[in-house]
Structure 1
Amino acid sequence: MALFEPTANEDELRANLDLLQETREIAHIKEYAVKTRVARKYDRRVVYRDFQEGDLVLRKATLGAEKNKLTPKWEGLLRIAEK
């Protein structure tokens, strides 16, 4: 039968706490790596557009008083006045 030793128990709790902190740091590093990888994959599919003065464009519609599935999502054609 093992007896309870407060000093040994305290040492074990501190060691467990140190291991827990190390595990958290490893998880944080892995999370950052995954988020970076996902962001790079997303950014590869983004099409950057460079508009010039005088181009006709559509603008995302600002939500008015009423929003439903028939509300237009874009408004325009608008001409770019200045860059």
Structure 2
Amino acid sequence: MPKEGTGATSFHLVYGGEVIVPIEVIVESDRIRVYDENNAERRHLEMDLVDKTRAKAVIRLMAYRQRMKQNYNRRIIPKSFQVGDLIWKKVKPVGDMTKLGAPWAGPFKIVEKLRSGAYYLEDEDGRKLVRPWTASHLQPYRAG
């Protein structure tokens, strides 16, 4: 959304002009009184500025998204595990699992680390789990 004071509303970016509310036609606001249909040159200049206004809005939107991404990433604590580490695995709720069930299962051993940051796990009996797990669903195992 464009910042206030830039003169660029969503309607202006799409249609190249400002919307006139029906009440303005009946009451005749200043904008209606000073409107001149013959002033085509001014309207052509405004249409030329629409592309520039759109480009500025796109740049502001990209900058806003970049700031949001940086703010989000600032709060993320990266997790990294090595092959052989013991970890807890988040339990996926299935069926009639209650809130009182354990949120973590384990311990599991990491047997393979993928380049994507996912990990293949092995249970206590040495059986490899079917699919890889991302670090966001894993927790370091601390016996105690």
Pair in the same fold by TM > 0.5: yes
Which of these residues, 59, 62, 66, is aligned with residue 29 of structure 1?
A: 59
For 1:53, the aligned partner's letter is V
* Structure 1 residue 35: Cα displacement: 1.1
Alignment partner, residue 31 of structure 2:
none
1:12 aligns with 2:42: yes
Deviation at 1:42, TM superposition (A): 1.4
Question: 1:47 corresponds to which residue?
Answer: 77
The residue aligned with 1:81 is 111
Deviation at 1:47? 1.0
The normalised TM-score by structure 1 is 0.62
Q: In structure 1, what is the Cα distance between the partners aligned to 2:97 and 2:58? A: 40
The amino acid that maps onto 2:69 is A
Secondary structure at the counterpart of residue 27 of structure 1: helix
Equivalent residue for 2:68? Answer: 38
Amino acid at match of 1:23: T
User: Whose RCO is larger (CA < 8 A, sep 6+)?
Assistant: 1
Q: Work out the percentage of aligned pairs sharing the same amino acid.
A: 31
TM-score (norm 2): 0.41
Structure with a larger share of its residues in helix? 1
The alpha-carbon distance between structure 1 residues 47 and 17, as it changes in their structure 2 partners (threshold 3 A), is same
Segments of structure 2 that go 5 or more residues without pairing to the other structure are: 1-35, 114-144
Alignment partner of 1:57: what SS? strand
Q: Assess, with a 3 A threshold, how the Cα gap between structure 1 residues 13 and 45 changes in structure 2: closer, same or farther.
A: same
Q: Give the gaps of 5 or more residues in structure 1.
A: none
Larger relative strand fraction: 2
Give the Cα–Cα distance (whole angstroms) in 1 for the partners of residues 85 and 75 of structure 2: 24
